[in-house]
Amino acid sequence: MKETLEEFGSVIQQFSAKLMKISETESAQRRGAEKWSTKEILGHLIDSASNNHQRFVRGQQTAELRTPGYEQQFWVSSQRYQSEPWENLVQLWKSYNLHLLHVVSAVPASALSHQCIIGEDKPETLEFVIKDYVRHLKHHLEQVFQ
């Protein structure tokens, strides 16, 4: 987990600075007819933080946690990220992830093997869910800068 925590912190610092260099106009541009804008991608990552926050905390409480899945299209469209100011989104994303880093850094080793069942997915350990969150975060942030 030590490597994952270091990587998580690095991703937050590296990408928050890069995200702030994107203009309001650039952030609102769609990447294609059926594609999200950069604002919506970051909104999706805020939603991911919100959903995973529950998993990271509740996953420590019980040996088997069941949580609903995440309907990403509905979440992104219902929150209207496209009309949110870019700077607000970047600050929320950064602050939320700094808090999540704080949360996961305090997860007891004994809780990392707890099982998490998300929606209809197969059970995964809390450790896997944390590592997968960081992987997912990096994937979408790298997508923004392609």
Query: What is the side-by-side strand order in the sheet with 124-125?
Result: 64-67, 115-118, 124-125
Average pLDDT rounded to a whole number, residues 70-91: 93
Please tell me the distance from the alpha carbon of residue 89 to that of residue 104, in angstroms, as a whole number: 22
pLDDT of residue 70 exceeding 90: no
Average pLDDT rounded to a whole number, residues 56-66: 95
pLDDT of residue 77 exceeding 90: no
Mean pLDDT of the chain, nearest integer: 94
Q: What CATH number does the domain located at 2-21+35-144 have?
A: 1.20.120.450
Find the length of the chain.
146
Domain boundaries, the chain: 2-21+35-144
Task: Out of 3-12, 21-30, 72-81, pick the least confident.
Answer: 72-81
